[in-house]
Amino acid sequence: MQGRYAAEYSAAQSDPNGYWGKQAGRVVWSKPYERVLDDSNPPFYRWYAGAETNTCYNALDRHVEAGHGERLALIYDSPVTNTIKRFSYAELRDSVAKLAGALRGLGVQKGDRVIIYMSMAPEAVMAMLACARIGAVHSVVFGGFAPRELATRIDDAKPVLIIASSCGLEPGRVVEYKPLLDQAIEIAAHKPKACLIHQRPMYIAPMIAGRDHDFAASLAAAQPAECVAVAATDPLYVLYTSGTTGIPKGVVRQNGGHMVALDWSMEHVYGVKPGEVFWAASDVGWVVGHSYIVYAPLIHGSTSLLYEGKPVGTPDAGAYWRVIEQHKVVALFTAPTAFRAIKKEDPKAELLKKYDLSQFRALFLAGERADPDTVHWAEDILGKPVIDHWWQTETGWPVSANFMGLELLPVKHGSATCAVPGYDVQVLDDDGHPVAKPGDIGNIAIKLPLPPGCLPTLWNNDEGFKKSYLARFPGYYNTGDAGFIDADGYIYIMSRTDDIINVAGHRLSTGGMEEVLASHPDVAECAVVGAADTLKGQVPLGFVVLKAGVTKPEEQILRELVALVREKIGPVAAFKQAVIVKRLPKTRSGKILRGTMQKIADAQEFRMPATIEDPVILTEIEAALKPVGYAKKA
């Protein structure tokens, strides 16, 4: 392969210190680095060691100081409240500075953790930036999570303060967050000193005297806080992601390398210029929201769009087209699920004809595998590049992509194109050796060290970091994904290699769901697999074996199980279907054959496992699934 991409990739591979040293000029440092890459303590690599900086300063203040204070920084578009607000860089900086002062007034200091449990409102963006401004470490927890999940994160992060919305909004309903927060604090062993509550008018939450403080009142009374210098290697945030055991892992993101990588990606991957409008249709609770709603567009000097709505139903399947036209969006980043939903509601894209998308340049898809049918449909209706790219919570920015701002490579449907400069992506067999030839499926791994912006470790858990990501293939980061790389270097991600499933772009642990199902008094054993779903990509499907002597009606038990998962994990799990079976298929050693069960549910061909205990069980599984719409050939 020749061209600009090949030259850029080669430069990053042959001289990473020189390459990333040059890229460091993208951001402002209050103290220069001593080493570009500190590799003195492998596998714990650190980028820009010795440097000091501030992420909030780079996202806001430097643009104002450069004379761009009137440029739009943030557009808030909320069809669920019929609200549009716009914030210039100067306005956003001033609000963030006052909020940072309010946090300091509540006792938050450099290095302290702050949990943010908020809805998709501008105040959530401000909260993250305010923490960064004073050197506090934020940990955003998606508002859809249940109290026990939130309590787990409170106990791990040990926040001084929690910032929460009184409620979140879904089409047609209000989700009260404050009661969930109160329950979580009651459950948690660690108790925060204070809570800052953003009261939304749809639900005014009761306050606990002495602990709870009103967001608006605290902001009004606060004195602005200046930016605090932090080490480039200090944590900016901790973001919890599902673990294979159901125990969340706190992914750490450091300040310096994160800024450099995100700014690089805005220019080279997304092709967005300062002053242009970029829209990541995600939630601030997920890594996409962190990277591409809050930090990357602002660091780059672009305008970020914060959307509180859905691709359909707010009010119709033309919602995305309306937003793109109205706000002059040049690039949209969303999950394939969103386009499957739009396609389902408006298969001929009739609503698109009402809008002018002439300034729109590219659609980016990630968060789950972009099936070729959806990509073809989007290409046909938009007439613009549709770019499937792949990355993870752990990496924080794309691992493989096509390059709107560097060189558009030929599209191969089903592939997330080629490795981003800085990443050495390889396919390994189960023994850790490179596969024999291009096209062979294996374990997708990235050779160490990872480039700037990727996780350096897990929060207070170096051993967990090594065990989760590095132990299986020494010298490599194990992505947990399976796939292959073709002869042209194109990367194909096929599936997860563990029990993490992708529900509408949300990575969820089936192991965690199994723990919940197993807690039901009538359940003897259970399994959860990810079944294919035309809208969400995957949905969890439960298999339950009841204890002997249970007389309760099966329909009642199944309703209780669905409610239990919703209560313990939250509606984000999308757990709506389980079947009761006599027994689960297992190997002779007792391992449940989840992969085979998933293939049966998806009506795929499968080979009879050589170690299966009793092949007849598979016939029973198929019979149980057909009445509920699974195991049927299309």
**In a 3-state reduction of DSSP, which class is residue 510?**
helix
Mean pLDDT of 574-579: 91
Nearest to 217 by CA among 100, 102, 96, 92: 102
- Measured CA to CA, the distance from residue 98 to residue 93 in angstroms comes to 9
Per-residue pLDDT tens over the stretch 125-171: 999 999 999 999 999 998 867 898 899 999 999 999 999 999 999 87
**How many other C-beta atoms are found inside a 10 Å radius of the C-beta of residue 189?**
8
Least confident of 29-43, 77-91, 203-217, 617-631: 617-631
Question: Which residues face 387 on adjacent strands?
Answer: 364
- For the entire predicted model, the pTM comes to 0.85
Q: For 300-349, write each residue's pLDDT tens digit.
A: 999 999 999 999 999 999 999 999 999 999 999 998 888 988 988 898 99
Give the containing element (helix H, strand E) for 482.
strand 476-485
Q: What is the mean pLDDT of the chain?
A: 93
Three-class SS state of 87? strand
- The separation between the first and the last C-alpha atoms of the chain, rounded to the nearest angstrom, is 39
Q: Are 452 and 48 in contact (CB under 8 A)?
A: yes
The pairing of beta strand 400-401 with beta strand 418-419: antiparallel
> Model confidence over 502-541: pLDDT tens digits?
787 776 767 778 878 988 989 888 899 999 888 888 899 9
Q: How far is CA 269 from CA 293, 389, 457, in A?
A: 15, 9, 26
98 conformational bin, left if phi > 0, alpha if psi -120 to 50, beta if neither: alpha
Residue 340 buriedness (CB in 10 A; 0-12 / 13-18 / 19+): buried
Place of tokens 């067999």: 429
Query: What are the chain's domains?
Result: 89-228 (3.40.50.980), 500-628 (3.30.300.30)
DSSP three-state, residue 226: coil
How many residues does the structure list for the chain? Answer: 634
What pLDDT, in 10s, does the model give residues 243-268? 544 567 999 999 999 999 999 999 99
Taking alpha carbons only, the member of 475, 32, 421 closest to residue 232 is 32
